[in-house]
């Protein structure tokens, strides 16, 4: 399931109903008798009726980003409804929109706009992951932990995670490898001190002492390309897997894939490179060509 389908496409449109009782849902306008779950209509519920999703993949909320969002919410309100799932007893679990929910609490808002959806535990995790990935809100470690939850708790293969999240299998596998890094390196990734590309290079260095030395050089300003070369030199020749793709090329592929919304493959032949972009119709070809030109 690709990211392009959006959040709503992941949740079945069930025709159950919730009653507009004061203790359950506080509407901003005249209450309607029976509002079907999954309809486009927006409810306004008391903010203390909403509890956060315990499986929310995002752990780190940058103070600067939150301050900007709080200021925006104070001035304009919440422009995009939160997505919630009914828990019963007038409570709702937050599926998507935790930054907006936090900003609303900081802004002392009494009510927030929501769209109510039925969702399984698996769907809630996938929805939270997708929303954050679409907005590029997750740092590389949070993204990796989210993928790991899908694998460990729901039995997904790396290929299934890739399909659900609109990624390639190598990208998912390399992202998961970031969890093998030391706590110090993971914190650096979470706080943006080193890039995801640099993290993937570090994850490819088996010797912990050499890995730490390379990490310190990256912190001092070593480029990803330079660090990738050093990581190759740090590996014994017998352990170099020639079939593994250059992490820098993987990163380029991922950026192009995100931009063009289609499968992209980059191959290296000595000093030359081959870029393959898949498209499935003449119309799609024209759209991709327009972006590139």
Q: Which two structure tokens, joined as six digits, stand for 73?
A: 């919410």
Whole-angstrom distance, CA of residue 120 vs CA of residue 122: 5
Q: Which two structure tokens, joined as six digits, stand for 95?
A: 């599926």
Q: Which two structure tokens, joined as six digits, stand for 77?
A: 């309100």
**In 69-166, at which residue ranges do the beta strands (DSSP E only) sit?**
82-88, 91-96, 111-116
Q: Tell me the CA distances in angstroms from 229 to 54, 87, 140, 277, 281, one per residue in order.
A: 41, 52, 22, 27, 39
Coil vs helix vs strand at 39? coil
98 among known catalytic residues = yes
**First and final CA of the chain: distance in angstroms?**
29
Whole-angstrom distance, CA of residue 83 vs CA of residue 94: 6
Tell me which of 67, 93, 98, 183 is the catalytic residue: 98
> What is the β-pairing status of strands 111-116 and 82-88?
parallel
Whole-angstrom distance, CA of residue 196 vs CA of residue 179: 12
> What is the β-pairing status of strands 17-19 and 34-36?
antiparallel
Q: Tell me the CA distances in angstroms from 3 to 37, 126, 132, one per residue in order.
A: 23, 10, 11
Q: Which two structure tokens, joined as six digits, stand for 5?
A: 């389908």
* Residues with a known catalytic role: 98
């Amino acid at each position: 399931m690709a990211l392009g389908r959006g959040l709503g496409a992941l949740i079945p449109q069930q025709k159950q109903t919730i009653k507009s009782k004061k203790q359950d849902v506080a509407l901003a306008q005249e209450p309607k008798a029976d509002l079907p779950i999954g309809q486009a209509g927006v409810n306004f519920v008391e903010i203390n009726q909403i509890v956060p999703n315990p499986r929310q993949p995002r752990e780190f909320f940058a103070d600067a980003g939150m301050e900007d969002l709080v200021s925006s919410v104070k001035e304009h309100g919440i422009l995009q409804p939160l997505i919630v799932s009914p828990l019963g007893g007038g409570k709702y679990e937050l599926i998507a929109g935790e930054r907006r929910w936090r900003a609303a609490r900081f802004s002392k808002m009494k009510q927030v706009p929501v769209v109510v959806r039925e969702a399984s535990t698996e769907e809630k995790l996938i929805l939270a992951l997708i929303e954050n990935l679409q907005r590029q809100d997750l740092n590389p470690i949070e993204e990796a932990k989210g993928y790991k939850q899908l694998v460990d708790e729901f039995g997904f293969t790396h290929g299934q995670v890739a399909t659900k999240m609109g990624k390639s299998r190598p990208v998912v596998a390399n992202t998961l490898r970031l969890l093998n890094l030391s706590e110090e390196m993971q914190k650096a990734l979470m706080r943006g001190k080193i890039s995801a590309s640099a993290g993937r290079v570090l994850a490819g260095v088996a010797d912990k002492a050499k890995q730490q030395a390379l990490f310190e050089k990256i912190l001092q300003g070593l480029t990803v390309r330079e660090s990738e070369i050093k990581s190759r030199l740090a590996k014994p020749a017998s352990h170099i897997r020639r079939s593994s793709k250059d992490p820098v090329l993987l990163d380029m592929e991922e950026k192009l894939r995100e931009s063009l919304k289609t499968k992209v493959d980059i191959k290296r032949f000595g000093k030359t490179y081959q870029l393959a972009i898949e498209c499935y119709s003449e119309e799609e070809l024209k759209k991709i060509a327009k972006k590139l030109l």
